[in-house]
Amino acid sequence: MTEKTEYDAVIIGAGHNGLAAAVHLASKGWSVCVVEAAEEPGGAVKTQELTEPGFRHDFGAMNLSMFAGSAFFAAHRDPLTAAGLELVPAPHCFASVFRDGTALGVGPDLAETRAAIAELSPEDAARWEQMLTDFSRDAPHIFALLGAPMPSFQTAKAVWKAWRALGTEGLYRLSRLLVATPRAFLDRHFDSEKLKVMMATWGLHLDFAPDVAGGALFPYLESMANQAFGMVIGKGGADTIIRAMTKVVREHDGDIVLGERVARVVRDSAGKATGVTLASGRTIAAKKAVIANVHPKLLFTDLVPDAASDFSEKVSRFRAGPGTMMIHLAMDDLPDWSAGSHLKDYAYIHIAPDMQMMSKLYAEAMDGLLPAEPALVVGQPSAVDPSRAPDGKHVLWIQVRVLPADVIGDAAGTIEGTDWETVKHAYAERVLDLIETYAPGTRARIRSSAVFSPRDLERENPNLIGGDSLSGSHHLDQNFLFRPVAGYSRYKTPVPGLYMCGAATWPGAGTGAGSGFMLAKMLAG
């Protein structure tokens, strides 16, 4: 890279939102510099050989469907594709396995999904198809809201267009969806408990147990979007989007500084952010904007410690979501799922077999206990993309959802210790025991493993405070207008010239690059 000392924008953090902002601003003629403390870009979207050479594991995010359907990708598809971005569609998307040895899944073939639901309830099969029809009508309005700065004229326009298209009753229906609990929404639409459980499990990808208000939207969107559009992952790894974005930034003469930590945000005599000083002592000036793709707590504790006290105090109360554990396995073969060999074709297998256990594990984790029966998302990326592993071999991506950041005990009473370093391998064994229940013989196929506790995740990426992969709870009091702080949901901060983006800002977690893209559009006009 060059040793330039002044740019139009300096971006702190090379996560996908920061890179999306850099791509868009650079495409509009801005000179940009992205500074990243880690030795490689990507944040939680990285692909690494964590177990053995040749086995490529997605460190955090695996599912790139939100990116593929994003407004950012639509706007920059051609240069990103030319830069090498490749996506691979999953033949089947996700399935849930149940205690009785059965499973229910969703793939892009509606007839196949409907037939599986019809075995449980012919009425629910018809309701599923009707919900999909309604989704095609409602989705443009929902995505218009999720893709608009909050609040903004664009938000008002999205609501107005929804009212014009759907009427007052339709607007009430969408509003009810936004605030409903998963259980209430699903009970209102379906009879089959297995179908409801299959959909509700998506709530645990965020921090929504079955009875938490505001949790219905994500299960609805994921279920219907997977049915309508399918699921995609990155060819060779989720980092395909990072490699492409960094290449595009550099093609626009932007700079990306790796392995350099920002020590503080520089401000002029009027208090305006004018650049950053690195830990090495180098100062990089920003003529138009400093953009922090950094968790607000870190930004206003470490980099801008003397910002407005009332704002900093509010940021200090921004709640983390639950912790996450990641287990990466190099495998001689995929699991043999008791519910059927067809499950080897699915990108995701959810192990969260009933509403009661979802509610129970959520309560246990919130109380600081290791859940007796954790909820698992078992990713099978090499079933979709064989390039992730040597010929005939596989990788498993296991995400353990809803864990305490700080352990005070074990709900099952069998694991001793209150420090993640002490308990993580014992808890990983509990996870593998659970997988064995649904896929006997899986342990015998494991070649090697890498286990990351919530605290390990935070060490790898300080934005994941307490292992929170969401960068803040998505409960209603921290979402929409309140993310991350009421009055600052439009990416500005109390410091002129300093802006925020990332999962802690609207529209929240996921790979959709929404905050980085929306902020960049606002800045570039």
pLDDT surpasses 70 at 473:
yes
Q: How confident is the model at residue 3 (pLDDT cuts 50, 70, 90)?
A: low
CB-based contacts of 29: which residues, under 8 Å, 6+ apart? none
> Could you tell me which residues are beta bridge partners of residue 378?
349, 398
Q: Cβ distance 51 to 328 under 8 Å?
A: yes
Q: What string of DSSP letters covers 406-451?
A: S--EETTS----SSHHHHHHHHHHHHHHHHHHHSTTTGGGEEEEEE
pLDDT surpasses 50 at 20:
yes
Q: How confident is the model at residue 308 (pLDDT cuts 50, 70, 90)?
A: confident
Q: Average of pLDDT values for 429-438? A: 98
ω into residue 381 within 30 of 0, thus cis? no
Q: Which of the 8 DSSP states describes residue 46?
A: -
Q: Average of pLDDT values for 483-487? A: 95
Alpha carbons 15 and 77: distance in angstroms, whole number: 18
Token reading at 391: 């010929």
pLDDT surpasses 70 at 343:
yes
Q: Cβ distance 458 to 338 under 8 Å?
A: no
Q: How does pLDDT run across 32-69, given as a tens digit for each residue?
A: 999 999 999 999 999 999 999 999 999 999 999 999 99
Check residue 1 and give its pLDDT. 45
Angle at which helix 153-179 crosses helix 122-146, to 10 degrees, equals 150
* 3-state secondary structure at position 128: helix
Q: Which of 202-216, 301-315, 472-486 has the lowest mean pLDDT?
A: 301-315
Q: Which domains does the chain have, with CATH numbers?
A: 6-87+237-318+473-524 (3.50.50.60), 109-229 (no CATH), 319-460 (3.90.660)
Number of H helices, E strands in the chain: 17, 20
Predicted structure pTM score: 0.96
- What count of other Cβ atoms lies within 10 Å of the Cβ of residue 422? 13
pLDDT surpasses 50 at 462:
yes
Amino acid in position 7: Y
Q: How does pLDDT run across 205-245, given as a tens digit for each residue?
A: 999 999 999 999 999 999 999 999 999 999 999 999 999 99
Alpha carbons 347 and 177: distance in angstroms, whole number: 27
Q: How does pLDDT run across 143-171, given as a tens digit for each residue?
A: 999 999 999 999 999 999 999 999 999 99
Q: How does pLDDT run across 64-105, given as a tens digit for each residue?
A: 999 999 999 999 999 999 999 999 999 999 999 999 999 999
**Taking Cα atoms as reference points, which of 29, 1, 32 lies closest to residue 293?**
32
Q: How confident is the model at residue 310 (pLDDT cuts 50, 70, 90)?
A: confident
* 3-state secondary structure at position 259: coil
Q: How confident is the model at residue 2 (pLDDT cuts 50, 70, 90)?
A: low
Token reading at 101: 């040895």
Which is it for strands 273-278 and 57-58: parallel, antiparallel or unpaired? unpaired
Q: Which of the 8 DSSP states describes residue 201?
A: G
